Structure 1
Amino acid sequence: MAEVTRRMDARPEDVDRALADGWVFGLWVVGAVHIREVSPDWPHPGAYIRHSVGAWPTMIEDRTEVERYEPRRVLQLLAHAWPLGAARVRLELEPDRDGTLVRMHEDAVSGPGQWVPAPLRTPLLQWRNTESLARLAAIARGRPEKPDPG
């Protein structure tokens, strides 16, 4: 299993707000390039995002589903990218002074991706998820709750 940790200069509620906006999923998840649909109940269990992965003209259209959600604490996803298989991704948020410590765990759970030996797939997942968390941090920093102007 690949694990990456990043301290973000954003409060847990700001990180959670970024995670809860399914339309920005493609901005922080490396590889997700086009969001086609976000179910209205995102990010609650059973909710999904239909997305494309890869680069044109070889994009794969698939989906990511929420398995577990605890606001400001945990978001666990099952990410499909057929024919590559599926991966389980868990993001854990922990308050850290005036910011948030985010741990991202990922591993293949089905399909050909699972057949790649862990010593080969883990460094690739860590590299990709390091960039994903850097992107998420930038989005979360820019998404504090805005005061009501009215």
Structure 2
Amino acid sequence: MEPVEITVPASAEDTFGVLADGWLYPLWVVGASHIRDVDPGWPAVGTRIHHSLGPWPLNLSDTTKVRAVDPPRMLELEARLWPVGSAWIRLELTEITPDRTRISMYERAISGPAVLVPDLIQTQVLAPRNKESLSRLADLVAGRARNRKSE
């Protein structure tokens, strides 16, 4: 699957810092609407964000679990949404310069009915949502970087 990518004006460490704050998840993940809890130690392997997706009162509660992590370069997640199934998501951070980082986001269905959808179609359906998610993430990262510089 082809990644969706964006470059942010911050180091990989500062960028990963936003990903490492599970309470920020609904601010950048399109569709996430409410965080009920973040496991202690997030984003260690096996820890979860307990979240809701969709607008109230139609939202669904589920979890996103860390499958692999390599700070500040990579975060791999499994996002569940019953009854649809779950998705594998990988965020790779590549530091271009000390104050510029490229974020690459990969996503594909790994369980449920969506696995029957061919990869090409999954990519076409998910790309607009993932571009918006990365745009939101980039704004959070840039805002934090600006605030750090002004301190």
| Rounded Cα–Cα distance in structure 2 between residues aligned with 1:124 and 1:89 | 15
Alignment gaps of 5+ in structure 2: none
Report the residue type matching 1:139 in the other structure: L
Q: Tell me if structure 2 keeps the 8 A contact 1:2–1:126.
A: no
Unaligned runs of 5+ in 1: none
Mapping for residues 1-150 of structure 1, pairs under 5 Å: 1-97=1-97, 98-144=99-145, 146=148
The whole-number CA distance in structure 2 between the counterparts of 1:55 and 1:114 is: 25
Quick one: percent identity of the two aligned structures?
Answer: 46
CA deviations over 1:22-77 (Å, ceiling 9, x no partner): 00001000011111100011001011000001122221100000011111100000
Judge which range, 94-103 or 119-128, deviates more. Answer: 119-128
User: 1:2–1:123: 8 Å Cα contact kept in structure 2?
Assistant: no
Q: Runs of 4+ in structure 1 displaced over 6 angstroms?
A: none
CA distance in 1, matches of 2:148, 2:135: 23
Counting matched residue pairs gives 148
Could you say what secondary structure the match of 2:57 adopts?
A: coil
TM value normalised by structure 1: 0.92
Structure showing the higher helix proportion among its residues? 2
The whole-number CA distance in structure 2 between the counterparts of 1:116 and 1:76 is 21
CA shift digits 1:79-137 (9 cap, x unpaired):
00010100000000011122101100000000012122333321121111101111111
Rounded to whole Å, the distance in 2 between the matches of 1:121 and 1:76 is 18
Q: Higher mean Cα deviation, 105-114 or 136-145?
A: 136-145
Q: Secondary structure at the match of 2:3?
A: strand
Query: Normalised by the size of structure 2, how large is the TM-score?
Result: 0.92
